[in-house]
Chains A and B, each alone.
Chain A
Amino acid sequence: AQTVTQSQPEMSVQEAETVTLSCTYDTSENNYYLFWYKQPPSRQMILVIRQEAYKQQNATENRFSVNFQKAAKSFSLKISDSQLGDTAMYFCAFMKTDNAGNMLTFGGGTRLMVKP
């Protein structure tokens, strides 16, 4: 079974600064997908970024980028130029690619507070 660990329960950052959220995972699979989702106070889960394990290039989406270290089984999220609207719970998630459907395994989450 896969496990996903987010070691930082809470973090805070000043507006306009950069913050990095950590995620590690444990799997024996070679091919898989990794995701970061954001859940603001509204509770709507929003996709932030997705990474395919077979791609060496780190995914980026505007101010969001990841540092994917496959050998270390690490998948951190960097948020640049933090904005007040980035305040949310952030969840790291893992999905196998064994042709058995789509099932996400989530980490425990990191609560990020962006301060003005």
Chain B
Amino acid sequence: KAGVTQTPRYLIKTRGQQVTLSCSPISGHRSVSWYQQTPGQGLQFLFEYFSETQRNKGNFPGRFSGRQFSNSRSEMNVSTLELGDSALYLCASSLAVGLSGDTQYFGPGTRLTVL
């Protein structure tokens, strides 16, 4: 079975621009979560999508948004980019058999650099 895939793998943007990152979960997985990883803040939860609905949201400004499609693929969008948004963005998928407690499997990440 193919793993979680993320595109693009690398991205360079300038301040003020917006960006869209894509994540395709493992086949059959229905939940997709997004995390931001930076040297200063570590790994922080952004949001989780299940059945095309946002089920959880972390403590990030409204510039960060996401969505999930009927095939479970997910996108996250960051508008009005700031230098501090430079990070590795990780996507993780899980089966979502239960309401919580599912093991998450991670993609390779998208490295975003904001200049």
Q: Is the CB of B90 within 8 A of A45?
A: yes
Q: Which single member of A100, A102, A105, A108 contacts B102 (CB below 8 Å)?
A: A102
Bound-complex Cα distance A108 to B43 (A): 8
Q: Would you call A114 an interface residue if the criterion is a C-beta within 8 Å of the partner chain's C-beta atoms?
A: no
The reply on B64 being an interface residue by CB < 8 A is no
Q: Is the CB of B99 within 8 A of A103?
A: no
In this assembly, does A95 line the interface, its C-beta being within 8 Å of a C-beta of chain B?
Answer: yes
Interface residues on A, range: 20 to 34
CB distance from A13 to the nearest CB of B (A): 23
Let me know if A108 and B42 touch, CB within 8 A. Answer: yes
19 residue pairs bridging A and B, Cβ less than 8 Å apart: A33-B101, A35-B103, A37-B106, A42-B108, A43-B109, A44-B108, A45-B106, A47-B103, A47-B105, A52-B101, A99-B98, A99-B100, A100-B100, A101-B99, A104-B33, A104-B35, A104-B43, A106-B42, A109-B43
Question: Given known contacts A100-B99, A103-B45, A104-B45, what 8 new A-B pairs fall within 8 Å (CB)?
Answer: A35-B103, A43-B111, A44-B106, A45-B92, A101-B50, A102-B33, A102-B101, A103-B48
